[in-house]
Amino acid sequence: MKAIVIHAAKDLRVEEQETAAPGAGEVEIELATGGICGSDLHYYNHGGFGAIRLREPMILGHEVSGYIRRLGPGVADLSEGQLVSVSPSRPCGECSYCQNGQQNHCLNMRFYGSAMPFPHIQGAFRQTLVANTSQIAVADGLSAGEAAMAEPLAVCLHAAKQAGDLLGRRVLVTGSGPIGALCILLARRAGAAEIVATDLSDFTLGIAQKVGADRAINMASTPNGLADYEKNKGYFDVVFECTGAAPALASGVACLKPGGTLIQLGLGGDMNVPLQALTAKEITLRGSFRFHQEFFTGVEMMRNGLIDVKSLITHTLPLEDSVAAFELASDRSQAMKAQISFN
């Protein structure tokens, strides 16, 4: 089979890899679609992010869907031919965090396409993937592209859970890439009264408005675009910070009213935090990291028509054009979510 392997920054190769047979409680999946995530782009463009660096070749990818082709021994509740979303989250189930229901903080997590441990955890961008049934969400009724959006949707569902009740709240979303756009969709679904989105790209901001933002502000062309929201100690109840950039965090804090909540999703390495402003305005800062059960909730929401992600999928390229797909995904002037077709 072929797989997409990153060797170093800008050194992406489609290589032949061995195919494993499914064991007990596992299924063999013929991969259909893989979405290129921000972390994939960090590995491609920079060889890692923050202190996390590539130290050996690694198969990328963790946003995937495919069709079941073979059932391992003991698998009875799935069928060959089913379209499925595959969760990249593989917690051990035994550590203290797993036992406490915090599987996203598992001490022995095996998350597809991660250079955090060494040897690295190989990713899911491969034509044939063997996965445990605990990772499988049946995605019948969805397209393969929609099914591959389950992972970023789960990230945002976890963030929305961290934010709490959004009904009637004023919400600011800093960063309008796929994660920001999904946060907008979920905030609107949860009953937010007003949603403002920021970004540096008119293209992504246009999609942000299409999926539910009341106002979109390009901080590159209008750097003082949030100034009115800073008056009288702030305006917003909740901020979803999706960039991992210090200026976005600072603007979010400045626009939050006293007692507001800032949810930090963006991972861009360590950055300065305006601690005095957080303290003086009694702002709650909450991190949001990965997900677990939200993956299966997200698939059901899409299947039931509660969340429509189709407008976020802007490009789908074939496996042989993987480098072009990564270059395209890096260009926010024309791409929101770029996906790779493995068929």
What confidence tier does 267 reach under pLDDT thresholds 50, 70, 90?
confident
| pLDDT higher than 90, residue 269 | no
Distance CA(81)–CA(52), nearest Å, equals: 38
Q: Where do the domains of the chain lie, and which CATH numbers do they carry? A: 2-149+309-341 (3.90.180.10), 156-287 (3.40.50.720)
- What pLDDT does 144 receive? 98
pLDDT above 70 as % of the chain = 100
Distance CA(153)–CA(145), nearest Å, equals: 13
Q: Are strands 83-86 and 136-138 parallel, antiparallel or unpaired?
A: antiparallel
**Among 331, 291, 299, 303, residue whose Cα is nearest residue 315:** 331
Tens-digit pLDDT profile for residues 24-61: 999 999 999 999 999 999 999 999 988 889 999 999 99
Q: Which residues contact 105 (CB under 8 A, 6 or more apart)?
A: 97, 289
CB 123 within 8 A of CB 113: yes
Q: Are strands 313-318 and 337-341 parallel, antiparallel or unpaired?
A: parallel
CB 34 within 8 A of CB 61: yes
- What pLDDT does 136 receive? 98
What average pLDDT does this structure show over 279-289? 96
Distance CA(239)–CA(197), nearest Å, equals: 10
Question: Euclidean distance between the first and final Cα of the chain, in Å?
Answer: 12
Q: Are strands 170-174 and 236-241 parallel, antiparallel or unpaired?
A: parallel
How many other CB atoms are there within 10 angstroms of residue 286's CB atom?
Answer: 12
Single-letter code of the amino acid located at 51: A
Burial of 123 (C-beta count, 10 Å sphere; 0-12/13-18/19+): buried
| pLDDT higher than 90, residue 5 | yes
Tens-digit pLDDT profile for residues 113-146: 999 999 999 999 999 999 999 999 999 999 999 9
Q: Are strands 128-132 and 63-71 parallel, antiparallel or unpaired?
A: unpaired
Distance CA(180)–CA(51), nearest Å, equals: 24
Q: What is residue 217's three-state secondary structure?
A: strand
Burial of 59 (C-beta count, 10 Å sphere; 0-12/13-18/19+): buried
What average pLDDT does this structure show over 206-220? 98
The partner residues of 46 in beta bridges, in order of sequence, read none
- What pLDDT does 272 receive? 86
What average pLDDT does this structure show over 162-170? 97
DSSP state of 126: B
Tell me the average pLDDT of the chain: 96
| pLDDT higher than 80, residue 268 | no
CB 113 within 8 A of CB 59: yes
Q: Indicate the pTM of the whole model.
A: 0.96
| pLDDT higher than 80, residue 197 | yes
Alpha helices in 135-210 (DSSP H): 144-147, 150-163, 178-189, 202-210
Span of 124-133, 136-145, 219-228, 264-273 with lowest mean pLDDT = 264-273
| pLDDT higher than 90, residue 96 | yes
| Ramachandran angles phi, psi of 207, nearest 5° | -70, -35
What confidence tier does 271 reach under pLDDT thresholds 50, 70, 90?
confident
What confidence tier does 328 reach under pLDDT thresholds 50, 70, 90?
very high
- What pLDDT does 99 receive? 97
DSSP state of 243: S
What confidence tier does 343 reach under pLDDT thresholds 50, 70, 90?
confident
What average pLDDT does this structure show over 271-293? 94
- What pLDDT does 50 receive? 80
